[in-house]
Amino acid sequence: MKIFKDSKVKNQVVKPILTIGTFDGIHIGHQEILRRLIQEAKEKKGESVLFTFEPHPREVIFPDTHGLKMISNLEEKMETLNELGIDHLILFPFTKGFSELTAEEFVKTILVDDIGIEKVVIGYDHHFGKNREGNIEVLRKFGKEYGFEVEEIPAQDIDDINVSSTKIRKALEKGDMNTVTQYLGRPFEINGIVVEGNKLGRTMGYPTANIDIQDSKKILPGCGAYVVQIGLHGQVYRGMMNIGFNPTHNLQENESVEVHILDFNDTLYGEKLKIEVLAKIREEKKFNSPEELKAQLKRDEAFSLSYTS
C-alpha cells in the first residue's frame, strides 16, 4: 500500500476508484465498503484509494471539546488497510481552511483536479463539504458534470451487518470483548512500549510489563483483568493484562496497563508489544492482602491458559 500525505496524486494512481471517510476501527461494516471498492478497482483495471484525514476533523473543528477516543490509532489502521489489500491511502491534512470548502469545491479541486477519480464508492448517508451540504444526490450530480461514476453501498447491505463504531466503544467500556471481536472481525489491538513500573508483580511471582500506550486518544477496554495474546519478535505468547489503578497497593492515581506474559522471563524494557485482547476475566477489585491477590492471580492464570476463543 502506497501512502500519500496530500491529494496531488493524479497520474500516480491508475484509474483511481476512491472511497472517503475516517474508518475508525475498520469494523466489518467498513470492510464491506472496502471489499466493494477493491472489487470495483479490479473490474475496471484501476487502483483502490482510501481518502481519509489526519488529524481527525473533530480535533480541528472542536479543538477544546472533541473528546476523541479512537478504536484504532493511525499505525493500526494502516496495518489493517494493508492486510485488506487497499492500493493507496491518502492521509489528507485536515485544516480549518479545508473545512470551509463547499461540496463542489471539494469535488472539483480535490477529487477531480488533484486525484483524477474514475469512480467514488461510498456508504449510504455519507455527507461532505462545508456544513455537510454534500450528499449522494449532490455527488451524482457532480459525477455527471465532471465525468466520474458514483456507487452508493445500499443501506441494507450495511444495516444487515448491524455494527457501528459507537457500538464497539460501548462494548469496550463494558469489557465485552466477544462483541468487540465480532464487530471488528479480529481481536481489539493495543500497541505500546514497555517502561519501568512499580515492580510489585515480581514480588508475587507475576512480573508485569508496564505499557506506555503513547497515544492519549486511543480508547482502552474498561478496568479489569483480561486474557491477551502478545506479539513480540515474530512470536505470539499468551498472557494476562490488567487495566486499572492497582487498588490493593493504592500506589497510583492514573490508570495503567500492565501485562504478564506466561512462560516468559526475558527483560522487556523498551520493547514494543502488540497486545490482542481476547476476553475479560474479571473486574478490578481491592484485595485484603497480597496473599489474597496472589491467589486470585493463580486463578486468572489458569483461566488464561485454558481460554479458547
Long-range contacts from 131-135, C-beta under 8 angstroms, 24+ separation? 133/102, 133/103, 134/103, 134/106, 134/107
Residue 287's pLDDT is: 86
Burial environment of residue 229 by CB neighbours within 10 A (0 to 12, 13 to 18, 19 or more): middle
CB 244 within 8 A of CB 284: yes
Query: What whole-number distance in Å separates Cα of residue 156 and Cα of residue 59?
Result: 31
| Tens-digit pLDDT profile for residues 272-305 | 999 999 999 999 888 888 888 889 999 999 999 9
Q: Which CATH architecture has domain 2-159?
A: 3-Layer(aba) Sandwich (3.40)
Residue 79 has which C-alpha cell? Answer: 496495518
Q: How far is CA 185 from the centre of its chain?
A: 12
For the four alpha carbons of 140, 141, 146 and 147, in that order, the dihedral sign comes to positive
pLDDT tens by residue, the chain, 309 residues: 999 999 999 999 999 999 999 999 999 989 999 999 999 999 999 999 999 999 998 899 888 888 889 999 999 999 999 999 999 999 999 999 998 999 999 999 999 999 999 999 988 778 888 877 888 899 999 999 999 999 988 766 666 667 888 899 999 999 999 999 999 999 999 999 999 776 666 666 788 889 999 888 999 999 999 999 999 888 899 999 999 877 665 556 678 899 999 988 888 889 999 999 999 999 988 888 888 888 999 999 999 999 987
Break the chain into its structural domains and give their ranges.
2-159, 188-306
Question: Which pLDDT score is estimated for 218?
Answer: 94
Residues 243, 221 contacting (CB under 8 angstroms): yes
The Cα 151–Cα 155 span in angstroms is 12
* Active-site option among 258, 271, 284, 291: 258
Say what the pLDDT of residue 160 is. Answer: 64
**Identical topology for domains 2-159 and 188-306:** no
Amino acid at 263: D
The pLDDT, as a whole number, for residue 104 is: 92
**Spatial separation of the C-alpha atoms in residues 67 and 6, rounded to whole Å:** 26
β-strands 16-20, 119-123 pairing: parallel
Contact 50, 34 (CB under 8 A): yes
* pTM for this entry: 0.89
Is residue 83 part of the annotated active site? The answer reads no
Pick the CATH number of 188-306 from 1.10.3720.10, 2.170.190.11, 2.40.290.10, 2.40.30.30: 2.40.30.30
